[in-house]
Amino acid sequence: MPDAKPHVLLQLDSDPHPSVFDAIVAVDAGVDHVLRHGGVRPEEVRNLVYGAIFTRGVEDLRQTAVFVGGSDVTLGERLLAEVRQAFLGPLRVSVMIDSAGANTTAAAAVLAAAAHLGLSDAEVLVLGASGTVGRRL
């Protein structure tokens, strides 16, 4: 069996300079190469994603992923929508959005709550929650 392809992460960041924090987290998680793009606009996403999905066979695409970041959650959601629209049948990769750290922080809040009560039948009231993290809860 041939050697597995290296793990590649395509980092699409809406901020002018892509997040160093996000890139280091990716490397520490085992990504071999982080392709960092900053100041990404929705109309640029398709060609960046095509560069990631057309260069490998379908079986090797599992070694490729897209990460959408930046401080603007609304713009990040638009970038994510463009990533999804760029996929063609089996030519698709894993994709994650964490603009402003909102998704990972919200997930951590739910995990912290789960440490103290069962969530399967819990009724929860989230007060405030008008910021980027709170809207994810």
Q: What percent of the chain has pLDDT above 70?
A: 93
- Which residue in 50, 107, 42 sits closest to 76, CA to CA? 42
Residue 15 domain-assigned (yes or no) = yes
* Higher per-residue pLDDT: 86 or 3: 86
Residue 59 domain-assigned (yes or no) = yes
Q: What is the pLDDT of residues 116-131, one digit of tens each?
A: 888 888 887 777 767 7
Q: How many domains does the chain have?
A: 1
Task: Find the angle CA(69)-CA(67)-CA(41) to the nearest 5 degrees.
Answer: 55
How much is the average pLDDT of 61-75?
A: 97
What is the CATH number for 22? 3.40.50.10280
Q: What is the pLDDT of residues 76-110, one digit of tens each?
A: 999 999 999 999 999 999 999 999 998 888 888 88
What is the rounded CA–CA span in Å between residue 22 and residue 101? Answer: 9
- What's the token pair of residue 27? 């490397």
Residue 78: domain span: 8-97
